[in-house]
Amino acid sequence: MRPIVGYATALTVCLLLYTIEGFTRTVFLQAKTASLYVQTRGLSQFIHSQRRALQRGHGLKPSQLNAERLSNAVESSRLKKELLALAKRTLRGFQASTKDRRRARSLIDQLAALNPTRDPAKSYYATQTQESNAIDSKDGSSSKLVGEASLSGKWTLVYTDAPDITALGTTNPWAKLGRIGQECEPPYIRNVIEWKRPGWATSLPFSGSEESRVLQRVVTKATASPDQPMVVNLDIVGLRINADAPTTLSNFAEAIQSQGLIAGFFQAAPVDLQGPLQAPFGKFEVLYLDEELRAVKTGQGYVAVNLRTGDEWI
């Protein structure tokens, strides 16, 4: 029995050391500088005023505006469908060829030109965040803005070309990479990675089941400004590692028996490292945002596409 426990303990320590080092490789890890193509609030207002003036001067009819919106919606739907098909075929971009990556960039650029959300980072404006927190503290309602798409919510990664992310599927021998996503709850953005039991560990004692998993979160505090309505700034504030915790499990032994040694350990003793200190984590630019899909670009030029999560896996 002792050799098995010793092996399992060593395996736990290895995974913990690896995940703490590797967890900071998240969708936005590469974001170190703001994009040069940031749309400012002043420019947005100028374009909007010129468009209104043009409509008044040339008598653009509401029917013409509606026709344009409908055309944009149809084209956006077509582009999203092709992009999601490419993402599925290339396994989230992890197996994308150079040609695939070029095509994905082209589709994202075309979507960016049709972006229906003028202020995608609005839920992270300082005043908006304060108002949302006040509302949430009173009645627990969602801080999602009414009548327009918002970053707030839970998102699942479906495509990226960031090498630090695509490498996650091949560099960890101790765990199998599951889903990658984000929890956006102003003023925080939590980057989430799901780890599962590796295939080679199926026959090992205390290895858990197919459902056993460990969730790792890099917790960042996000801010945005009306002067740069497409850009979100991130400061890292903490790290969390935990496992699913059925309410019927009351102690460490039960957790180990149910979830396996690794998941059971983090279920019984989750890691939660947060403090008053913050450090810059980077920035990202929102290229496209609607109610179901989001595309962003990091400061180093990598892209990530997320879908709003339907199931509550995070």
Average pLDDT over residues 86-112: 98
What pLDDT does residue 36 have?
Answer: 33
What pLDDT does residue 273 have?
Answer: 64
In a domain, 259, yes or no: yes
* pLDDT greater at residue 73 or residue 34: 73
Span 254-287, pLDDT tens digits = 443 444 444 444 444 455 566 666 778 899 999 9
Span 203-252, pLDDT tens digits = 544 444 556 778 889 999 999 999 999 999 999 999 887 766 544 444 44
What pLDDT does residue 72 have?
Answer: 92
DSSP 151: S
The Cα 247–Cα 253 span in angstroms is: 14
**Before 187, cis peptide (omega within 30)?**
yes
In a domain, 313, yes or no: no
Average pLDDT over residues 123-147: 55
Taking CA 45 as the corner, what is the angle to CA 43 and CA 49, rounded to the nearest 5 degrees?
115
> Does the pLDDT value for residue 308 go beyond 90?
yes
Sign of CA dihedral 186, 76, 110, 293: positive
What pLDDT does residue 279 have?
Answer: 75
Span 153-209, pLDDT tens digits = 999 999 999 999 999 877 666 678 899 999 999 999 999 999 887 654 455 444 445
CA 25 to chain centre: 12
In a domain, 270, yes or no: yes
Please give the residue range of the domain that contains residue 14: 2-308
Task: Find the Cα–Cα–Cα–Cα dihedral 187, 123, 192, 243, rounded to 10°.
Answer: 60
What pLDDT does residue 271 have?
Answer: 52
In a domain, 195, yes or no: yes
Q: Are 26 and 293 in contact (CB under 8 A)?
A: no
CA 194 to chain centre: 12
Task: Find the Cα–Cα–Cα–Cα dihedral 312, 229, 224, 163, rounded to 10°.
Answer: 60
**What total number of domains does the chain contain?**
1
In a domain, 114, yes or no: yes
In a domain, 314, yes or no: no
Span 48-81, pLDDT tens digits = 444 444 334 344 567 776 888 889 999 999 999 9
What pLDDT does residue 312 have?
Answer: 77
In a domain, 209, yes or no: yes
111 burial level (CB within 10 Å; 0-12, 13-18, 19+): buried
> Does the pLDDT value for residue 8 go beyond 70?
no
In a domain, 267, yes or no: yes
Average pLDDT over residues 86-91: 98
